[in-house]
Structure 1
Amino acid sequence: MKNTIKTLTLVALVAIITLSFTKIVTEKKIIKTENSTVVWKGYKVTGSHEGTINLKSGSLNFEENALSGGEFVIDMTTIVNTDMEGEYKGKLEGHLKSDDFFGIENFPSSTLVFTSVNAKGKNSYVVTGDLTIKGKTNPITFEISIYGNKATASLKIDRTKYDIKYGSSNFFDDLKDKAIYDEFDLVVDLQF
């Protein structure tokens, strides 16, 4: 009986020591910004506009091959319109970069830092993160899918939470067909 207790104690002790020195494999994968795209789409009463914006940097963290975190820096100075040409394209881009919208002179970057990641399926995750635009930080929740060395996500962002109120019918009366909807979309394709 004493030998059995000693053996069980020894096995338990070895198991505890082994588990305490077992390391969870964590890997930080750097985003290839030149191969990744971020497409924005904004909506107004009379239609919509879309364009692109570049990532300055980004990474996704994995533990045991499952997504566990991430962070991104968006270069707001690169925002461009892709559905117009000529003078009106330039005017829209200038307006988006102005203080009415993203104020790139004072806020050249925006950031997204994952705060929680929950598996939804084999390659799908629900992410909550802190999104900072124009110096204002708010939580945002979205889904991201990962296949091999690629990830895709779609985010719906309420611009008024970041003090971007220009043309919002929630803040200005009598805008009629000049109203711009508060939410805009980002469609993100990442390679790492």
Structure 2
Amino acid sequence: MKKRIVAIFTIATLVISATGCKDKAKEADTKAPEEAATTKASAEKYTANVSESTIAWKGFKPTGTHNGTISIENGVLNMVDGKINSGTFLIDMNSIEVLDMPKENEYNAKLTGHLKSADFFDVEKHPSAAFEITGLSEAEGKTMLSGNLTLKETKNNVTFPVTVTNTDGTVILTSETFTIDRSKWNVKYGSKSFFDDLGDKFINDDIELKITVKATKY
């Protein structure tokens, strides 16, 4: 009977894990950092509205998921002929929030604190992350945004699909949902890329992201 119960729990864990993997978005193309895009003299400056801009995140482990948001601290998009020419953003890592459980739940504060700790993003030493645009391209009918993402002093270039609208002095940039592999930025806690003895206590390296930036003409 005991073996049967263990087997049932093992199967359930595998099903949850497989379902989580199936639902995850495609990983952003990740490579070595590139030169930031050069701002043309004719570019028009658009400043990010931080109250209407956000990064939604989701993390995965065998027993389920957690999700939340991170705020943009400040940012600029430079536009030429209605198209993005260059841009930079600072991300406020102290703003990490967990949304899948009530704020008054003690585990919300525990998880939020753990994400901010040295185990994960070490926000005391690295209060900001940064993203600088290196270019845009077209692939399979989609606009692909490339940029250098710096987390914990580690920089990689990532490319992911976006939609950009420019209406009446307001630019809205919205990414498709994509993932990054945190191990490429040396975020090590619970990662099978760094530790071999985790069993089913690991946390997936993939972090799912969806970016929304609203910017108005300066």
Alignment TM-score, normalising by the size of structure 2: 0.72
Say which structure, 1 or 2, has more relative contact order (CA 8 Å, 6+ apart): 2
Q: More deviation in 111-120 or 92-101?
A: 111-120
Q: Residue 90 of structure 1 aligns with which residue?
A: 109
1:70 and 2:92 correspond: no
Q: Residue 139 of structure 1 aligns with which residue?
A: 157
Report the alpha carbon displacement of residue 50 of structure 1 after superposing the two structures with TM: 0.4
Report the alpha carbon displacement of residue 105 of structure 1 after superposing the two structures with TM: 0.4
Q: Which amino acid aligns with 2:108?
A: K
Number of equivalent positions: 169
1:109 and 2:108 correspond: no
Q: Which amino acid aligns with 2:89?
A: F
Q: Which amino acid aligns with 1:53?
A: I
Q: Residue 165 of structure 1 aligns with which residue?
A: 188
The C-alpha deviation readout for 1:110-155, integer Å capped at 9, x for no partner, is: 0000112224588x52122111000111111112111233210134
Structure 1: tracts of 5 or more residues without a match: 1-22
Alignment of 1:36-51 (within 5 A): 36-51=53-68
Give the secondary-structure state (helix, strand or coil) at the position aligned to 1:176.
coil
Q: Which amino acid aligns with 1:44?
A: K
Counterpart contact for 2:56–2:69, Cα < 8 Å = yes
How big is the alpha-carbon RMSD for the aligned residues of Structure 1 and Structure 2? 1.8
Q: Residue 209 of structure 2 aligns with which residue?
A: 186
Q: Distance in 2 between matches of 1:30 and 1:120?
A: 27
Q: Distance in 1 between matches of 2:165 and 2:80?
A: 16
Give the secondary-structure state (helix, strand or coil) at the position aligned to 1:168.
coil
Q: Which aligned segments of 4 or more residues in structure 1 are displaced greater than 2 angstroms?
A: 119-122
Q: Which amino acid aligns with 1:95?
A: H
The C-alpha deviation readout for 1:143-192, integer Å capped at 9, x for no partner, is: 21112332101342111111111101122123232111111011111211
Query: Which of 151, 169, 173 is residue 151 of structure 1 equivalent to?
Result: 173
Report the alpha carbon displacement of residue 61 of structure 1 after superposing the two structures with TM: 1.7
Structure 2: tracts of 5 or more residues without a match: 1-39
Q: Sort the Cα spacing of 1:119 and 1:182 in 2 relative to 1 into closer, same or farther, 3 A.
A: same
User: Which is greater in Rg?
Assistant: 1
Q: Distance in 2 between matches of 1:176 and 1:46?
A: 13
Q: Distance in 2 between matches of 1:116 and 1:109?
A: 22
The C-alpha deviation readout for 1:9-54, integer Å capped at 9, x for no partner, is: xxxxxxxxxxxxxx97421211101111211111111111001111
Q: Which amino acid aligns with 2:200?
A: D
Counterpart contact for 2:183–2:193, Cα < 8 Å = no
